[in-house]
Structure 1
Amino acid sequence: MARIRGRHAARRVATTAAGHRRRSGLRSARYRRGLGGTAVAAVVMAALTASQAPGVELAGDHGSDRPGSAGDRTPGDDDYATELPPLESPHPPGTSEPGGSGDTSGIPSSVLAAYKKAARSLASRTPGCGLRWELLAGIGKVESGHARGGAVDKDGTTLRPILGPVLNGKGFAHIEDTDGGRWDGDTTYDRAVGPLQFIPSTWDRWGADGNGDGRKDPNNIHDAALAAGAYLCADGRDLSSGAGLDRAVLSYNNSSDYLRTVLAWFEYYRKGTHAVPDRDLSVLPTTPGLGEPGGGSSPGAGRGGADPADDRPGKPSKPSKPGKPSAPGKPDKPGNPGEPGGDGKPGDGDDGGKPSPEPTGPHAIERVGAGKFTAVAGEDFAGHPVVKVETAKGKGVKGVRVRFEVRGETGAAFEDGARSTTVTTDAQGNATAPALSAGDRTGSFTVRATVPGKKLGSVDFAASVTAPQADTLARTSDGVLEAGKGGKFTQAVRVKATRKGKAVAHTAVTATFGEGAETGPYFGKDEQGTPIRRLVDLKTDADGVVVLPELFAGDRPGTYTLTLTAEGGASVQVKVTVKG
């Protein structure tokens, strides 16, 4: 009886019109469609919106009559879950709502953690916003039933896609493809994606990395929650005020009915909630899906779209409208496609119990193997840049064209001197760049891999070209080097530096006499008259040859060793003899 008394109380609150505020939005045609036009639903909504807790006041009317309101003109405004929380306060774990069923105050643990983490992160990044995690929970509830009851993996990514209807203008917004099918698998029209239902073009602007894995994925509850929070806080909104809170929610879906539904759940969660195990079907909305008896009249299930004209500078782009999942145990009507990403059980609105197919379109491009390559000028790189084109589930996609491009001031090129080339992915989704020649110029450059026509981002490979280093240093003649004491050698010392049999030009060479040569041969004298027995400023010429300067015998007879070393380590020893 508590529930019945509550409804009578709600009716009295509504009819006495506390504060005498008009509820013009309650009479809107869209609201009547969203709640099935029943008097009870209208009374419940009126009671909820008339009895907000402190700090959650609606700040006046929110229908199309409100000054400055854009009205409910966006197609699909009524395409969201209209289930309302019970009028009684949430019950603690282990108890149930009198006269009801399910644990409506519970939120799947992984999803709850994502909401709270996003709110904490934004509290430090946008301290003036005042975003509470309960608002994200309210939106997540009506958007996807908290990611279909917490059907996410250990990283927070939905186990199966949650997609809105095709936005082809038939009952919803007309938004042609903006992501090449990367997120929604549709290359003709866009569809809203993920637990918080972002259309791809909006995600392209607001996407965030909430779990620190280096990717921004609308299918991941951590990423989606952080992006939704940043979106709600945009334009310096203060969500601690009623007006700021209203503006934020209306920016997500410009519908007075949507505002009231979200705020009802927001207030409900503020009174108390708790974590429940992931994949708990009791948290799913039980409102009949759109097009079903008692539901809305718009065709399809899931979310509607946003007006792309709203995605302009100075105004946050508006995510498309929330979807209303089919009620558990109640299949969609014939001709009304179920929302992909459902529970996959017979009779739950997922196409007769058949599992939704995994996305097969390109979702991301990732590097495979090494990210850095080095080669010597004039040679080919030994390694090849490799990338993988994947679906949203990480499966390789065959037959995708990948473009590799040499970027930067360099002489490097692919076959036939081309600076770009296109390769098709193999059965594993891998694309391997062809052989890359280093060219004659030293320095660094980048090889960038992209998928033409797809917004999959890019993968860069760092490459550098170094000067060649000799692997061999040898005398150009085998003549004996001899000189008398106090004289000088008549034959010059000549050596040649080569690499793989080719001359190495302009490489450094040092020449040093070893131990015991303190009074032996030398290369002239310095300004102080000291004999020079070590040379470090030698360079090979264009033919890789270096000729040592004039060599003097010294005063001590004997055989001495002259060691010449090229840059890179190649060396040769030359014997010289001083006769007495």
Structure 2
Amino acid sequence: MARYRGRHAAQQKAGKAPGHRRRFRLSSARYRRGLGGTAIAAVVMAALTASQAPGVELGGDHGKGRSDAAGDRTPGDDSYETQLPPLESPHPPDGADPGGSSDESGIPASVLKAYKNAAKSLASRTPGCGLRWELLAGIGKVESGQARGGAVDKDGTTLRPILGPVLNGAGFANIKDTDGGRWDGDTTYDRAVGPMQFIPSTWGRWGADGNGDGRKDPNNVYDAALAAGQYLCADGRDLSAKADLDRAILSYNNSDEYLRTVLAWFEYYREGTHSVPDGEGGLLPTSPGLGESGGGPGKGGSPSGPGKGTSPSKPGKPGKPSDPGKPGNPGGGDDHNGGDDGDDGGTPSPDPTAPDAIVADGTKSFSAVAGEEFAKSPRVKVETSKGKGVKGVKVDFAIDGATEASFGGGAKKVTVATGAGGVAQAPALVAGAKAGSFTVHASVPGKKLGTVDFTAEVTAAKADKLERTSEVVLTAPKNGDFVVPVEVKATRKGKPVADTAVTATLQDSEKGPYFTKDEEGHPVRTPVKLTTNEDGVVKVEGLAADDKPGDYTLTLTADGGATTKVTLTITG
């Protein structure tokens, strides 16, 4: 995203920039052949050198005098490709194969997909932004030649690093290392990184996961395209409005020339483009400062991209030197998305506002007794890439499992909008009568933010009380039967507990009442296990008496510990 600074700028002004002259000469030669006349060729060259594509106009004051345009006040990593698109139609000639180095309208398949995916994603995240994928393509063209003509692997990661120049103050801004060399391989100074040229500190603020692999990598064209789109849409910009469109591009690189160049490619791609195989189309020129890889401290590369070394930027205002915060100049700067405050007192760029992740807010596991309400319910937070909560985002909570659990009113799925802190809490969960486990899935519909899973366990109800259903005295004559059965009811918090185990135990295992007789006719007095019915009632029937008169105790114990004692009397 950067213009040439220092020696490069001087050469260009004096007509001594061989790299640019070579590109313009080749381009103009190609189109002269198509136009076929010296006069027309002169018109083409004039249009090219004017850095203005047909039908593309700068809005307002062309970026001058705006509070959001820093101007060329300081050197910075703001190099970019100044070659303009052809003046001819972007549609390939009849019968010709589109693509290849001679067809500027072809965009490598993976890169084109990344731009379209990012625009589609942002259309749902920030519907008022109006970002078109062709704008990302225009920026990607001037920043890295469409990721070096689609030199990416199957996941969209560049086959070799695309690095801007070392931001050591020699012709560009002086930005000390902010990432420990993680992205740019330099532990002394920062360098712009990747197909959209993000300075490391800017990537730390705006980085995104555009391919759903769980990583945010500036070298990945899907991640970089989504991050660039988020930056362009920041602060409520409406890119369908000319003023906001200009402001967004200038926030990436505060240069009228950059603005004209991006707008030219933007308009060109809008007229028609097509996919070409990765490795073809939009190849990166070999001029210094245009996304070349390699090079160590003091060696050239491609300066330009969000956050490259220029002044910290306000929304729509390129940053100052030493501020990595610009999309086209990753890491800060005049030509990039804003970054940290620079030494010259610039204002940092706005924090991202689009939802970037959904995370659990509190515990992820819950339990309740069958038939009761859970003490807590799932809570999530929807946040930006910087961890700030996003208000007004709809979150779906869905119950998945075979239990009878539900939200209030019997619903299995509910939608709740996040509050001011970005938090959404599901309604109260009610456990059904059936014990077991289930999962509550929380997700943001229409956005690839992942899913938060909450586990919930419904345990069988345990009676807290067990008592007889009548006060009838239970008696039997010697060697006779207890005609009235022993009937008790299990309850929890006053409600019947169905299907709970109740154990009946006789006081004396040698004499007195017994449950039944074995095959040899001997009384059986070992404990008996029973189960309550749907009303929480259980009956002990078939009790008989031996020939030993007296009072005996029958103890009934419910699962959970509730007990009751019943007196059985054998009369003489």
How far 1:504 sits from its partner (Å)?
A: 2.4
- The separation in 1 between residues aligned to 2:281 and 2:342, in whole angstroms, is 31
Q: Deviations over 1:192-226 (max 9, x none)?
A: x875464449779xxxxxxxxxxxxxxxxxxxxxx
- Asked if the contact 2:165–2:300 (Cα under 8 Å) also holds between the matched residues in 1, the reply is no
Tell me what 1:111 maps to: 180
- The separation in 1 between residues aligned to 2:368 and 2:487, in whole angstroms, is 29
- Asked if the contact 1:143–1:195 (Cα under 8 Å) also holds between the matched residues in 2, the reply is yes
- The separation in 2 between residues aligned to 1:85 and 1:32, in whole angstroms, is 30
Say if 1:574 and 1:255 are closer, same or farther in 2 by CA, change over 3 A: same
Matched, 1:438 2:431: yes
- Asked if the contact 1:557–1:578 (Cα under 8 Å) also holds between the matched residues in 2, the reply is yes
- Asked if the contact 2:502–2:557 (Cα under 8 Å) also holds between the matched residues in 1, the reply is yes
How far 1:300 sits from its partner (Å)?
A: 10
- Asked if the contact 1:143–1:196 (Cα under 8 Å) also holds between the matched residues in 2, the reply is yes
- Asked if the contact 2:304–2:336 (Cα under 8 Å) also holds between the matched residues in 1, the reply is no
- The separation in 1 between residues aligned to 2:171 and 2:474, in whole angstroms, is 105
Tell me what 1:531 maps to: 523
- Asked if the contact 2:201–2:331 (Cα under 8 Å) also holds between the matched residues in 1, the reply is no
Residue 257 of structure 1 aligns to a residue whose secondary structure is coil
Corresponding letter in the other structure for 1:381: F
Tell me what 1:412 maps to: 405
Tell me what 1:265 maps to: 294
Runs of 5+ consecutive residues of structure 2 not aligned to the other structure: 1-18, 29-99, 113-136, 145-161, 228-277, 309-315, 320-325
Tell me what 1:424 maps to: 417
Counterparts of 1:21-420 in structure 2, within 5 Å, are: 27-29=22-24, 64=101, 75=138, 76-80=140-144, 108=177, 110-112=179-181, 114=182, 141-143=191-193, 151=201, 158=204, 160-161=205-206, 195-196=218-219, 198-200=221-223, 254-255=283-284, 257=286, 265=294, 268=296, 287=303, 323-324=328-329, 332=334, 338-345=335-342, 353-420=346-413
How far 1:261 sits from its partner (Å)?
A: 6.6
How far 1:142 sits from its partner (Å)?
A: 4.1
Runs of 5+ consecutive residues of structure 1 not aligned to the other structure: 1-23, 34-62, 87-95, 116-132, 164-176, 184-192, 205-248, 270-281, 293-298, 303-320, 333-337
Corresponding letter in the other structure for 2:375: A
How far 1:539 sits from its partner (Å)?
A: 1.9
Say if 1:322 and 1:77 are closer, same or farther in 2 by CA, change over 3 A: farther
Residue 453 of structure 2 aligns to a residue whose secondary structure is strand
362-371 or 535-544: bigger deviation:
535-544
- The separation in 2 between residues aligned to 1:377 and 1:366, in whole angstroms, is 28
How far 1:356 sits from its partner (Å)?
A: 0.9
- The separation in 2 between residues aligned to 1:360 and 1:505, in whole angstroms, is 52
- The separation in 2 between residues aligned to 1:403 and 1:561, in whole angstroms, is 57
- The separation in 2 between residues aligned to 1:467 and 1:539, in whole angstroms, is 13
Say if 1:577 and 1:285 are closer, same or farther in 2 by CA, change over 3 A: same
- Asked if the contact 2:466–2:490 (Cα under 8 Å) also holds between the matched residues in 1, the reply is yes
Say if 1:444 and 1:425 are closer, same or farther in 2 by CA, change over 3 A: same
Corresponding letter in the other structure for 1:439: G
- What TM-score, normalized by structure 2, do the two folds share? 0.52
Matched, 1:573 2:565: yes
Tell me what 1:520 maps to: 512
Residue 372 of structure 2 aligns to a residue whose secondary structure is coil
- The separation in 2 between residues aligned to 1:103 and 1:201, in whole angstroms, is 22
How far 1:77 sits from its partner (Å)?
A: 3.0
- The separation in 2 between residues aligned to 1:465 and 1:541, in whole angstroms, is 20
Corresponding letter in the other structure for 1:78: V
Q: Deviations over 1:300-335 (max 9, x none)?
A: 989xxxxxxxxxxxxxxxxxx9944699xxx74xxx
Say if 1:199 and 1:458 are closer, same or farther in 2 by CA, change over 3 A: same
Residue 399 of structure 1 aligns to a residue whose secondary structure is coil
- The separation in 2 between residues aligned to 1:531 and 1:30, in whole angstroms, is 113
Corresponding letter in the other structure for 1:359: P
How far 1:371 sits from its partner (Å)?
A: 1.5
- The separation in 2 between residues aligned to 1:451 and 1:30, in whole angstroms, is 51
Which residue, 498, 504, 517 being the options, matches 1:511?
Answer: 504
- The separation in 1 between residues aligned to 2:336 and 2:342, in whole angstroms, is 13
Question: Between Structure 1 and Structure 2, how many residues are aligned?
Answer: 374
Residue 524 of structure 2 aligns to a residue whose secondary structure is coil
- The separation in 2 between residues aligned to 1:381 and 1:82, in whole angstroms, is 54
How far 1:432 sits from its partner (Å)?
A: 1.4
- The separation in 2 between residues aligned to 1:388 and 1:368, in whole angstroms, is 6
- The separation in 1 between residues aligned to 2:420 and 2:407, in whole angstroms, is 24
- The separation in 2 between residues aligned to 1:252 and 1:562, in whole angstroms, is 91
How far 1:374 sits from its partner (Å)?
A: 2.5
How far 1:521 sits from its partner (Å)?
A: 1.9
Corresponding letter in the other structure for 1:379: E
Tell me what 2:14 maps to: none
- The separation in 1 between residues aligned to 2:300 and 2:541, in whole angstroms, is 89
- The separation in 2 between residues aligned to 1:199 and 1:161, in whole angstroms, is 13
Quick one: percent identity of the two aligned structures? 43
- Asked if the contact 1:143–1:197 (Cα under 8 Å) also holds between the matched residues in 2, the reply is no
Say if 1:84 and 1:201 are closer, same or farther in 2 by CA, change over 3 A: closer
- Asked if the contact 1:111–1:150 (Cα under 8 Å) also holds between the matched residues in 2, the reply is no
Q: Deviations over 1:32-77 (max 9, x none)?
A: 99xxxxxxxxxxxxxxxxxxxxxxxxxxxxx9489x9979996433
Tell me what 2:446 maps to: 453
- The separation in 1 between residues aligned to 2:302 and 2:473, in whole angstroms, is 101
